[in-house]
Amino acid sequence: MLILFNKPYGVLSQFTDKGTETKRPTLSKHIDVPGVYPAGRLDRDSEGLLLLTDDGRLQARIADPKFKLPKTYLVQIEGEADEASLDRLRRGVELKDGMTRPARVERIPDPALWPRDPPIRVRKTVPDCWLELTIREGRNRQVRRMTAAVGYPTLRLVRWSVGDWAVAGLQPGEWRKAEGGISWR
């Protein structure tokens, strides 16, 4: 079984919270399906597609960077990204843990997304723009670190798709079982 879940902002990508005295929202608030586990992670302050499965081999195949499954994000950044910065992302950028693989990235019009709760901070004197960015690895907070490395802090991060699976049609907190078979590119 494979579940597509639109993880809301502020929800941990796990079923229990053992990290703090103050309990934070977890997957258990949204998904009551026994035996499924996240295939990969999505930071608490990121939103969008999180895949869950009861199949350990499938979970490893989705999460393991050696399979280079593409992950596409809609990224709202502070500032107006220029072509030189986008080209740096396309070639790969140097992070503290090494060079990233080249990303596919384009500026896009403001996407028609659900409102975020709480809303992002807005500074009237600083413009922002949206990028569609696809990576084929999954380091800790990688997209945020990549945009910061080229001078554009991330304001909002929504994972739109992983491989052939997308969050389209799901509101935050909603989930559905994946239809059909599983194909690998």
Q: Which residue in 17, 32, 43, 87 is the catalytic one?
A: 43
Q: How far apart are CA 33 and CA 111, in angstroms?
A: 31
Token readout for 81 is 């990204």
Q: Is 54 a catalytic residue?
A: no
CB atoms within 10 A of CB 7: 30
Site of tokens 């990549």: 146
Q: Burial letters for 112-145: b for 16+ Cβ neighbours within 10 Å, e otherwise?
A: ebeebeeeeeeeeeeebbbbebbbeebeeebbbb
Strands 154-162 and 47-53: parallel
The torsion defined by the Cα of 145, 5, 179 and 105, in degrees rounded to 10, comes to: -20
Phi then psi dihedrals of residue 168, to 5 deg: -50, 135
Contact 107, 81 (CB under 8 A): yes
Active site residues: 43
